[in-house]
C-alpha cells in the first residue's frame, strides 16, 4: 500500500456487473453493514465458448488472521439485464491447501497461494453478457461449515470470526483461468 493510501474495511464487498450488484448491496446496507461495490469488466463483444480442453481454475493470494478458513470462488454468467446465473464454483479449506490427506495449519497473517478447482464446463457466453467472479470465505450449506479454529468442524461448537485479506498485485496475481475455444 502506498504511503498515504487509505485502508478501507467492509462487512461485505459486492462485485457486480450492470445492475446485478445493486439489489444485494442495498439489502446489506439496510441491515447496517458496511458495503463496498466493485463494478468492473466489459460486456463480451462476441460469443465465447468454454470447453473440455482444460479445467477452470482459480489462484488466490490471501491471508487470514486464523489458523484455518475456507476460500470459495464462483464464476457467474451476468445477463444484459443484470441478473446472474452460477456457472461453476469451488472451494479450498486452508489447512488442506497442500494436500487433502495432511492438514497443515495456516500461520495467521501470512500470505499463501490457494489453488481452487472450478471443475469443467462447456457452455456459450453470449455477446452482451459479462463474467462475474465472486470470492468469499464460505459457501454453506453447499460446502460444510468451517469454524475458523483449525479444530473439528463437525463436533466443535465455538465459531470465531476470520478477517480475510485478498491480494491482487504484480507479486500476487489472483486470477481465474478459463479454457476458451475460439469460434
Domain housing 18: 8-40
Checking DSSP bridges between strand 35-39 and strand 12-16, what pairing results, if any? parallel
Is 131 inside a domain boundary? Answer: yes
159 vs 33, higher pLDDT: 159
Local confidence band at 178 (pLDDT 50, 70, 90 cut-offs): confident
Q: What is the CATH number of the domain that holds 124?
A: 2.60.120.260
61 vs 141, higher pLDDT: 61
Local confidence band at 30 (pLDDT 50, 70, 90 cut-offs): low
Q: Judging by beta carbons within 10 Å of its beta carbon (0-12, 13-18, 19+), is residue 12 exposed, middle or buried?
A: middle
Assess whether pLDDT exceeds 50 at residue 126: yes
Residues 51 and 136 in one domain: yes
Residues 27 and 52 in one domain: no
Local confidence band at 8 (pLDDT 50, 70, 90 cut-offs): very low
**Gap between the Cα atoms of 89 and 108, Å rounded:** 25
Residues 29 and 50 in one domain: no
Q: What is the pLDDT of residue 143?
A: 82
Residues 32 and 81 in one domain: no
Total number of domains constituting the chain: 2
Residues 77 and 131 in one domain: yes
Residues 71 and 92 in one domain: yes
**Gap between the Cα atoms of 84 and 86, Å rounded:** 7
Residues 171 and 136 in one domain: yes
Amino acid at each position: 500500500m502506498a504511503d498515504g493510501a487509505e485502508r478501507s474495511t467492509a462487512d461485505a464487498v459486492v462485485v457486480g456487473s450492470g445492475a446485478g450488484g445493486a439489489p444485494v448491496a442495498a439489502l446489506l446496507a439496510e441491515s447496517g453493514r458496511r458495503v463496498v461495490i466493485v463494478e468492473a469488466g466489459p460486456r463480451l463483444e462476441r460469443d465465447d465458448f468454454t470447453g473440455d480442453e482444460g479445467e477452470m481454475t482459480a489462484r488466490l493470494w490471501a491471508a487470514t488472521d486464523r489458523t484455518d478458513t475456507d476460500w470459495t470462488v464462483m464464476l457467474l454468467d451476468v445477463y444484459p439485464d443484470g441478473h446472474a446465473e452460477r456457472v461453476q464454483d469451488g472451494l479450498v479449506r486452508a489447512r488442506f491447501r497442500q494436500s487433502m490427506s495432511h492438514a497443515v495449519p495456516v500461520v495467521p497473517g501470512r500470505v499463501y497461494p490457494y489453488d481452487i478447482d472450478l471443475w469443467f464446463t462447456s457452455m456459450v457466453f453470449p455477446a452482451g453478457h459479462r463474467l462475474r467472479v465472486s470470492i468469499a470465505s464460505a459457501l454453506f450449506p453447499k460446502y460444510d461449515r468451517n469454524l475458523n479454529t483449525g479444530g473439528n468442524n463437525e463436533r466443535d461448537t465455538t465459531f470465531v470470526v476470520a478477517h480475510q485479506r485478498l491480494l491482487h498485485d504484480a507479486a500476487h496475481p489472483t486470477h481465474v483461468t478459463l479454457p476458451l475455444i475460439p469460434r
